[in-house]
Amino acid sequence: MGTNQAWKKHNKEIRPGIHITGKWHKNSYLIKKELGSGAIGTVYLCEWNGRTAALKVSDTSTSMTVEVNVLKSLEKVQGNPLGPSLVDIDDWTSPLGNQYTFYVMEYLQGQSLASFIRQQGKEWIGVFMLQLLEDLERLHQSGWIFGDLKTDNILVLHSPPRVRWIDVGGTTKIGRAIKEYTEFYDRGYWGLGTRRAEPSYDLFALVMVFLHVFYPKRFEKKQSSSQVFLINKINAVKELTPYRTVLRKAVEGKYQTSAEMRVEVINCMYHMQKMSRSRTNKNVQKSTSLPMLAEAGGITLLATMYYLLSLLL
Amino acid sequence: MKKGTLKQILLITDGCSNKGEDPAATAALANQQGITVNVIGILDDQTEQPEGLQEVEEIALSGGGVSQLVYKQVLSQTVQAVTKQAMTQTLQGFVNKELQQILGSGQSMEDLAPEKRGEIMEVVEDMGETCDLEVLVLIDTSASMHDKLPTVKEALIDLSISLNSRIGRNRFCIYSFPGKKKDIQKVFDWSPQLDAISTVFPKLTSGGITPTGPAIREAMYQFGRKSLRRSFRNGNEPGVEEA
């Protein structure tokens, strides 16, 4: 995205070491460093009352208000938190006299999806897919589409490893036009659908998230059919082999809900486990005597029950 | 609240005007007619300080719109962000007027506590999603723009994808300037989609002068002509031709 390529006013005024004091609530935040920057605004690490938090500021105050609206409605969704929790929203008048609206949220610490999977192994791919699909399902059920789903907006929190969304700037009400997006993850950019907020929009982006994990430099659109191009990209990744069909269907927009896709991911994992189990069974036949014994015992028990039942009838 | 049509001129340029009246003045005139003028200034990769493009901000300021300087690589995202931001700004202007009637003059949304702004923004968002929108794209085709035109084309197709994902209706048209004989040249007539522009775009020829001011004035009349035709049909809504 046009991070440092677009000219923003606040970037010139906010530097590490300065204090941002709210006009209404009078809380003072010490800016420590920049955490990230998007099309709408910049997120800084800040310190306040000895605690660390994340502070987001933008040149357009209305978009901050809109994001806070989203955060507030996400806090109402039951279950695992869907976004960072909101700490404060306020205005700041800069030394140059410009007024900015900012909000402060919980600072989530973790690891990027790509580095976690690289370190901990490919068996986490399916786990994170399921976690993300579960969160998406709850989000969609409550009437929202995430919109700007991308690796930058996802963090893996530790013990236990759990994916969390850290920026909800693109979250849009179902049926409307997606508020914010990143080209690589956007089906509109690939010519594979509209930018209307519907579950299939997020599911497409989810596929791109996992492609980005294995293509760290991403890749660009080709003149030929994007659909074939993306499917080839999926098929070229060895680690994604078990999920090929599911990922392809999501690119083609075949899933109406994330629950549908989730079921098929579970099937893939089950299938994969069965395959690897039968493979190990063949390899180490001697050690299988115990489960075989148990299985034989189970069958005998079942047979006895049937026998008794037939006696009763 | 009455559902209206927002009118915007989106000027895409890479330099200063050098012929005719002050573009900021014609932008102010357009704004008086209920048309918002937004400006996107495309920077060259070498440009360190965008000095030559100060005009960009001035035009948008007096045109009641939004301006943004970008490198051509991020043009698509910017075109849609500027258009939407300008819609929000215009709608917010309407809401502010209503607020002043309720809260007393001199009050605007910024004077409300941040918590209270939330609900108002929801209304503004609703309006932005459902209102009808007319965008006249005005492209500077002076010599230096030549290598940027393919990117501009991509960005406009992309804008059409974004805006057509809204609930409200859209109409677009494209003019380039300078024209062969007139100040502006019609490239693409009013239409709900921009997909078809791929065929017309290669026709653009780049010239030497940049008559931005006269171009904005002419562009303003293109809305007028259409609303005149419409007022003929509907019998209301006066045209802006008499300005």
Each residue's pLDDT tens digit, A114-136:
999 999 999 999 999 999 999 99
A237-295 tens-digit pLDDT: 999 999 999 999 999 999 999 999 999 999 999 988 888 888 777 665 555 556 566 66
Put simply, whether B34 touches A (Cβ < 8 Å) is: no
Which of B74, B129, B162 minimises the CB distance to A2? B74
- CB atoms under 10 Å from CB of B214, counted, come to 20
In this predicted structure, which of A166-175, A205-214, A247-256, B186-195 has the lowest mean pLDDT? B186-195
How many separate domains does chain B show? 1
Question: Which 73-92 residues of chain A touch chain B by CB within 8 A?
Answer: 89-91
Q: What is the DSSP letter of A142?
A: T
Q: Are A132 and A87 in contact (CB under 8 A)?
A: no
Residue at B14 is within a domain? yes
Put simply, whether B85 touches A (Cβ < 8 Å) is: yes
Residue A20's DSSP bridge partners are: A29
Q: The domain that contains B226 carries what CATH number?
A: 3.40.50.410
Select the residue from B79, B110, B117 to test the A interface by mutation, using most A Cβ atoms within 10 A. B117
Q: What is the ipTM of this complex?
A: 0.78
d(C-alpha A179, C-alpha A109), whole Å? 26
Residue at B239 is within a domain? no
Which H helix or E strand runs over B137?
strand B132-140
Contact A91 B68 (CB under 8 A): no
Kindly list the distances between the CA atom of residue A154 and the CA atoms of A145, A197, A209, A213, in Å, as whole numbers in the listed order: 15, 19, 9, 12
What are the residue numbers of the active site of A? 148
In our burial notation (b when 16+ CB lie closer than 10 A, e otherwise), range A196-213 reads bbbbbbbbbbbbbbbbbb
d(C-alpha B204, C-alpha B193), whole Å? 19
Select the residue from B38, B51, B121, B159 to test the A interface by mutation, using most A Cβ atoms within 10 A. B121
CA distance A191 to chain B (A): 9
Put simply, whether B82 touches A (Cβ < 8 Å) is: no
Q: Which domain holds residue B123?
A: 5-234
Burial class (CB in 10 A: 0-12, 13-18, 19+), B33: middle
Instruction: Catalogue all structural domains in chain A, each as residue range(s) with its CATH number.
Output: 9-106 (3.30.200.20), 113-275 (1.10.510.10)
d(C-alpha B161, C-alpha A172), whole Å? 16
Residue at B240 is within a domain? no
d(C-alpha B225, C-alpha B219), whole Å? 10
Give pLDDT, residue B239: 37
Q: If you write DSSP's letter for every residue of A219-261 in order, what string do you get?
A: ----SS-HHHHHHHHHHT-GGGGGGHHHHHHHHTT--SSHHHH
Give pLDDT, residue A285: 56
